[in-house]
Amino acid sequence: MSANPNWARWIFASLSKYLKQVASDNSIPAMTEGVDTRTDAILKQPDHVEIAITGPYIREVSHNYYHTKVGVRILILSQMGTDNRYAPQRIAGLFQEALDGAIATYRYGNLPEDDGTLLGCLSALNGSNDAVRVMHFGQISPTEGLRQSMVDCWYEMELQNNT
């Protein structure tokens, strides 16, 4: 039996909803790459985040038992200004905290199998070279006051397919 074709959608939707809630709770405009449209309402804000999700990569490790791996990147965009000098670092810290733990994934959607129940929990990889990484790229152009930072982390989850 192969991997459940809904897993990718459920994982993506769960991560997107969780991270957009973190942004909303902190009054930070946010969009998820591939789901939301980049609008002027978001892009013209002095600070906003763009959420990108990679994966899941799914591998069957035993009969009907699967290992999943998912990457999350939060791109932080912030306009230079005296009142928000450390905005990228503040926002990065909020997402670093939010990503440093298990993230519940649910069966979100509007199809019959999307009942909203818990699918499982994503756990941050914890190998010697794994971490919730924060990178600051600084001002991206000498003529524009736009700065970029990023928070990056990889997660894993074990799943069974008993259908």
106-152 pLDDT, tens per residue?
A: 999 999 999 999 999 999 998 777 889 999 998 887 778 889 999 99
Query: Which residue in 51, 55, 50, 75 sits closest to 9, CA to CA?
Result: 55
Q: Is residue 1 part of a domain?
A: no
Report how far residue 14's alpha carbon sits from residue 65's, in angstroms, rounded to the nearest whole number: 21
Q: Is residue 15 part of a domain?
A: yes
CATH code for the domain in which residue 32 is found:
3.30.2000.20
Q: Is residue 95 part of a domain?
A: yes
Entry field: residues in the chain: 163
Mean pLDDT value across residues 147-159: 96
For the whole model, what pTM was predicted? 0.92
SS3 137: strand
Report how far residue 160's alpha carbon sits from residue 150's, in angstroms, rounded to the nearest whole number: 33
142: phi > 0 → left, psi -120 to 50 → alpha, else beta; which?
Answer: alpha
Q: Is residue 116 part of a domain?
A: yes
Residue 162 pLDDT more than 80?
no
28-57 pLDDT, tens digit per residue, is 999 999 888 888 888 888 899 999 999 999
Residue 163 pLDDT more than 80?
no
Question: CB-based contacts of 11: which residues, under 8 Å, 6+ apart?
Answer: 53, 55, 56, 68, 70, 105, 119, 122, 157
Q: Is residue 39 part of a domain?
A: yes
Report how far residue 56's alpha carbon sits from residue 161's, in angstroms, rounded to the nearest whole number: 15
**Structural domain tally of the chain?**
1
**Residue given tokens 């999700």 in the structure block:** 53
68-101 pLDDT, tens digit per residue, is 999 999 999 998 876 778 999 999 999 999 999 8
Report how far residue 61's alpha carbon sits from residue 31's, in angstroms, rounded to the nearest whole number: 34
Work out whether strand 30-32 and strand 47-62 pair parallel, antiparallel, or are unpaired: parallel
Q: Which domain holds residue 125?
A: 7-160
Query: Which residue in 52, 49, 47 sits closest to 12, CA to CA?
Result: 52
Q: Is residue 2 part of a domain?
A: no
